[in-house]
Amino acid sequence: MSDIVTITPNPAVDVSTTVERIVPVAKLRGTTQQRDPGGGGINVARVITRLGGDVAALYPVGGPTGVLLRQLVDTEGVSSLTWTTAEDTREDFFVQERATGQPYRFILPGPALTEPEWQAGLALLGGLDPFPRFVVGSGSLPRGVPTDYYARLAAVARARGAQFILDTSGPALAAAVAGGVDLIKPSLHEMRDLVGGEPSDATAWEQAARVLIMNGKVGMIALTMGHLGALLVTPERVLRAQPLTMVPVNAVGAGDSFLGALVAKLAASEPLEDAFRFAVAAGAAALLRTGTALCDPADVSRLLADVRLETA
Q: Which residues are catalytic?
A: 256
By DSSP bridging, strand 4-7 and strand 309-311 are: unpaired
Cis, peptide link before residue 186, omega less than 30° from 0 = no
CB 132 within 8 A of CB 156: no
State the DSSP string of the chain.
Answer: --SEEEE-SS-EEEEEEEES---SSS----S--EEEEESHHHHHHHHHHHTT--EEEEEEE-HHHHHHHHHHHHHTT-EEEEEE-SSPPEEEEEEEETTT--EEEE----PBPPHHHHHHHHHHHHT-SSPPSEEEEESPPPBTS-TTHHHHHHHHHHHTT-EEEEE--HHHHHHHHHH-EEEE--BHHHHHHHHTS---SHHHHHHHHHHHHHTTSEEEEEEE-GGG-EEEE-SS-EEEEPPP----S--TTHHHHHHHHHHHHHHTT--HHHHHHHHHHHHHHHTTS-TT----HHHHHHHHTT--EEE-
By DSSP bridging, strand 103-106 and strand 90-97 are: antiparallel
CB 190 within 8 A of CB 225: no
CB 230 within 8 A of CB 310: no
